[in-house]
Each structure stands twice: as structure tokens, then as C-alpha cells.
Amino acid sequence: MKQFRPAPGDRRAGIRRGARAGRGLPGSPAARLVAALAALVAGLVVVLVPTVASAAPVCKVDYTVNQWQGGFTASVRLTNLGSAVSSWTLRWTAGTSQQITNAWSAQVSQSGTTVTATNASYNGSLATGGTAEFGFQGTWSGSLTPPSDYYLNGVPCGGTSSPSPSPSPSPSASPSASPSPSPSPSPSPSPSPSASPSASPSPSPSPSPSPSPSTTPSTGCSGSGLVVCSGFEDQSGTPSGEWQVSTPNCSGSGTATIDTSTAHSGGKSLRVNGGGNYCNHMFVGTTKNVSAIGPVVYGRMWVRHTTALPANHVTMITMADSRDGGKDLRIGGQGNALQWNRESDDATLPEQSPAGIALSAPLPTNRWVCLRFQIDTSQQAMRTYLDDQEIAGLRVDGTPTQNVDAQWLRRTTAPRPTTFRLGWESYGSDSDTLWYDDVALGSSPVGC
């Protein structure tokens, strides 16, 4: 029987078809190599595509406003809900008719409707759950609306969706492209999971340098030249010894006690319950020789009180001025803001105009606040600080400034304090409860 032989061309085609069919066989080395490369490429695609995650809230802001016609003050409490920070910047949008004039416990600036608050030197570090408080004063017209779009260090406080950082595509995942054809059972694609994208885009970007400490020379009682320095730790019951109750002119319902339940440091503070109307005042004065302090008198105290400064005139600190007939040099409030007052002629600093008051600041309530001042006894020069931020409206530099110190400079003789008393006096019906602690007075600067 005649054997059939394919033509030469047919034989070559059959061989090529067989080779192509052989490459598709699941068990062949070629098939395994193709599968491995396909898996590798798919893995690289997964690594390089950024994912979208919903960021958790990073902060909470409590905003409390006290307003009157044309003006307002705001107290802001910032709570850090994210990772600890060594400094912070809080940004928000204000109403179009609002303009901030001054601030305390933070550096606050405004550009158009964008307001930016940056921590002071002493309150920049916030642990998770930590809080910082600051405030500001401003003017408004039309309507006064509270802000809502807060950003902490550039991140929305409420935690909106944002792309998680693209992992650096670390193309060390170049497939070691010479897959040895040896039919070893697993071609072990060489990009050993170094394809896990160096997964720490270290979330804590090596914390920015901690804010430099306050430049004020000394705190506590460590400063030289301090004549008065007391945390009332040696006191009990009614003030005695170095501190004496004093109710000049008349006395009424005001009281002064050493409080063991509220203190800035240690376990005690001086508590004053000051009543409304002139005779219901209460003061506690030091027995130390204040007239020996100079040529500049530096004072510092921590104050806490419960009721916002009223529109009417009140006094919290008095110093008898031997160069003004023993009349008092006074620190208190009027127009809802801090002020200096001179008993002899009722001059105020700043002047009681809307523009002058806007350059002062209220005294925050229900928290400890550091109040500092300096009085030059050789020339008319005074400065006042609230939580280490100078209050522009409470500054005297010898050059008259409209709405600030022109009235004050009518008297050219520099004051010479000889006493120092803490308490409360109201010239209307306003009352308050105050605590004083860590009080210092001396010839050298003393800080908070």
C-alpha cells in the first residue's frame, strides 16, 4: 500500500502549529513564565494607583462670641484630635464685614476674609487631645456670623476625603528580566516584595523646631530683684502676715479668703468675692516695701475670674502713687476691655473711644491668664501684657497717640508706686469672683 507523505511545505506548517499549540500547554515552562510576568505587572499597577481615604477629624474648635453694636470679642478653644504637634496654625474665613483689631494668646492676622491664628511661644505644643485657648477683638457691621471652615496646619478640621499619599513607585520592581528558563517549579519573580512601598511616608514629619521659649527673662520666683513673690502657700483662712485685707473708704459685702480648691500652681490662691456698687469692694495688699522697687517696676500675676469685664468702670489692682498725692494708679476694665485708670483725674488708658477700646483686650473668663506690666518711674512709659502678648492700647511711650494715651500724658510726671493691692471695686452694680496666684513684683523683668 502506498504510504502518504506530506509535502515539505505542509510539514513545516505542521511543526509551527505544533509549537504554537505546545506554548499554550498549561504545564509547560513557558506558560508558567507568562503567568508570573502577568501577575507581577498586575501587582505593580495596584501599588502605583493612589487610594482615596476618608481622613479622620484633626481638630475641634469651640468659638464663643460676645458682641455689641459695631464690636465683638471672641474666645476660641482649639482641641487637637490628631497626632501631637509642636506648633499650630488655625485658619478660617470671617464674614465680609468683620475686621480683627487685636488678639491675645496667639498671633492673629487677617487678609480679606481669611483669618490666620498662630500659637504664642508658650502654647504651641499640643498632644493628642490637648487644648489651646486664645481670643481676639474686632469690629463688624451688617451681621456677625461665626466661622465654620477651620483648618489646622492646612488640614480641614472636620476631616474631609483626601488622597492618601502615593507610595513612591519604587521601580526597584523592574522584573529581573532574564527568567532563567530552567524549569525550577516556581520562577520566583525577583521583585521580592520590596514592592511594599516603603510604607512609612513617616507621618510625623520630624516635628518642626519647637517654638523658642518666651524671651521673658525669668519665671516663678527665680528672678533677681523681686520684692514681692507669693503663691499664697504660707497663707490660710483670711489673708495675714505678708498680705493684709484692706477696704479703703468703706466696706460692705466683699470678702477675701485663701482658697485651697482653685490654684494656678501649688495648692492655694487668693480668692476675692467682689460685690457691686462702690462700698462692696475688697482688696488685699502686700506689706512689702514697694517704694524700694525701681527704676522700672515690673509686675506679674496669674488671674482667673468668672464674669466678663463690664461696660462700666471696675478696678482689680491698685498702687498708691506718691507723686500724685497718694492717689491710686489702677488696672481694671471699662467698655468690656482692660484699662489703666488714674484716680486723681480719672484719665484712662486707652481713651474711652471706640477706636481706643478696640486697641485693648478683654480679660478671658474661667481660665488662668498671665497679666504683666512695667511702669518706668523715671519717665512716662508703661507697657502691659496678657499671656505674654503686648496690648497696644495699654502702652505709653511718651509720644501722644490719638485714641490711646493723649489723655494720659496730660500729666507729665512719671508715677512712683508705693503700695500694691489685689481685689475688686465696682463703680456701678457689677460684681465678680476672682482668684490671684503666683504674684511677683520687682526691679527686674519677670515672665509667665
- Domains of the chain with CATH codes: 59-157 (2.60.40.290), 226-442 (2.60.120.200)
Strands 114-119 and 296-305: unpaired
Strands (E), 279-414: 282-286, 296-305, 314-320, 328-334, 337-342, 348-349, 369-376, 381-386, 389-390
The tens-digit pLDDT sequence of the chain (448 residues) is: 444 444 444 444 443 444 344 444 445 555 555 455 454 434 434 433 344 344 689 999 999 887 766 778 788 989 999 999 999 999 999 987 888 887 777 889 998 889 999 998 778 999 999 999 888 878 888 888 888 799 999 999 986 433 333 333 333 333 333 334 334 333 333 333 333 333 333 333 333 222 333 333 456 675 567 999 999 999 999 999 999 998 877 877 899 999 999 999 999 999 999 999 878 899 999 999 999 899 999 999 999 999 999 999 999 999 999 999 999 999 999 999 999 999 999 999 999 999 999 999 999 999 999 999 999 999 999 999 999 899 999 999 988 888 999 889 999 999 999 999 999 999 889 999 999 999 999 998 888 8
Residues 155-187 as b/e (b if ≥16 CB within 10 A, e otherwise) read: bbbbeeeeeeeebeeeeebeeeeebeeeeeeeb
Distance CA 202, CA 86 (A): 16
pLDDT at residue number 31:
54
Contact between 337 and 362 (Cβ < 8 Å) = yes
Contact between 269 and 223 (Cβ < 8 Å) = no
Q: Residue 255 pairs with which residues in a beta bridge?
A: 273
Distance CA 448, CA 446 (A): 7
